[in-house]
Amino acid sequence: MECLKTEYEKNGFYSPISVVDTLTAKTYQSILENTEAEIGLLNYRYKIHTALDFAYQLAINEKLLDNIESLIGPNILLYNTSFVIKEPHSKTHISWHQDLTYWGFNDDKQVAAWVALSDATEENGCMHMIPRSHKNGKIPHSATIDKHNLLHHGQTIENVSESDAVSIPLLAGEASLHHGWTMHTSYPNRSNDRRIGLTINYISTDMYQTQTKNDSAMLIRGIDNYNHFDVDQAPSQEFDNTAWIELQKKEALIHQTYNKMKK
């Protein structure tokens, strides 16, 4: 744990961490794709752990949470999860950015875990990060119009020295961790297979939202002495249809927060 914390604090990220075995990751991928066959694609849907049980189980994985605790302490809220999926030979990409730019939090006691459900490789668009970029704090972003950019406003850090970037390949079942101010990107999928990952965002319980009074999170370890957030609920079954309807309402709230932070 100490090695992880040292590397994370130095570079703003750490990789890889084994979360589940390959067979489990592939099983989760099958559940995802079977669900998509019923209700449509689930790329970049918010708080998906409230509607899909396997996403919730990944988020509360004990090995993963032990590592998160070493970075932000024992009292942990699960704020958001979303699938980041790139279809084969698509132009979909994520531009250079910092996660915390539009989230509206008062502080940066946050860690993002990116869990691979399929192998993430250079060919299919694994993440690239700039070591030590988190030490610079918030960097100006430009809102761009790019239908292939998965980010909500196409937010982009311009003039990035890409020669400084480090690629973060992962095997299915592995995860990387990164800080909310770490600059990162991912390029299009040039392979014949889907690249599927689940992004999980954890925050310390003393964090709070500055842009809305109705944001939500879920306590998954420790004690919440602050109660700054409405409480998200875990799904009652593998796919919770009632929670899926509620999730879509919460998406609208998150987009309102993003729009406020854009101004």
Q: Does the pLDDT value for residue 152 go beyond 90?
A: no
Structure-block tokens of residue 120: 């993430």
CB atoms closer than 10 angstroms to residue 163: 5
- Nearby residues of 172 by Cβ (< 8 Å), 6 or more positions away: 22, 25, 26, 29, 116, 117, 118, 119
User: Rounded to an integer, what distance in angstroms lies between the CA atom of residue 22 and that of residue 144?
Assistant: 37
Please check the confidence at residue 169 and state whether its pLDDT lies above 90. yes
Reply yes or no on whether the pLDDT at 250 is more than 60: yes
Beta strand pairing call for 230-231 and 216-221: parallel
Look at residue 145 and tell me whether its pLDDT is greater than 90.
Answer: no
User: What share of the chain in percent tops pLDDT 70?
Assistant: 95
Confidence at 262, pLDDT banded by 50, 70, 90 = low
Q: Are 120 and 195 in contact (CB under 8 A)?
A: yes
Q: What is the mean pLDDT of the chain?
A: 92
Confirm if 98 and 138 have CB atoms less than 8 A apart. yes
The reported pLDDT for the residue numbered 210 is 92
- Which pLDDT value is given to residue 161? 82
Q: Can you tell me the distance from the alpha carbon of 58 to that of 207, in angstroms, rounded to the nearest whole number? A: 22
Give the pLDDT mean for 122-150: 87
> How buried is 141 (Cβ within 10 angstroms: 0-12 exposed, 13-18 middle, 19+ buried)?
buried
CATH number for the domain that contains residue 43: 2.60.120.620
Residue 252, pLDDT > 80, answer: no
Mean pLDDT, range 92-101, rounded to an integer: 89
CA pair distance 73, 67, nearest whole angstrom: 10
Total Cβ atoms within 10 A of residue 18? 11
Whether the per-residue pLDDT at 119 is higher than 80: the answer is: yes
Domain that holds residue 189: 2-262
Q: What is the mean pLDDT of residues 162-169?
A: 94
Contact 149, 94 (CB under 8 A): yes
Closest CA to 43 of 87, 91, 103, 89: 87
Answer yes or no: is pLDDT of 41 > 60. Answer: yes
Confidence of residue 153 (pLDDT cuts 50, 70, 90): low
Tens-digit pLDDT profile for residues 178-217 = 999 999 999 999 999 999 999 999 999 999 999 888 899 9
Tokens 């130095």 correspond to: 10
- Counted domains in the chain: 1
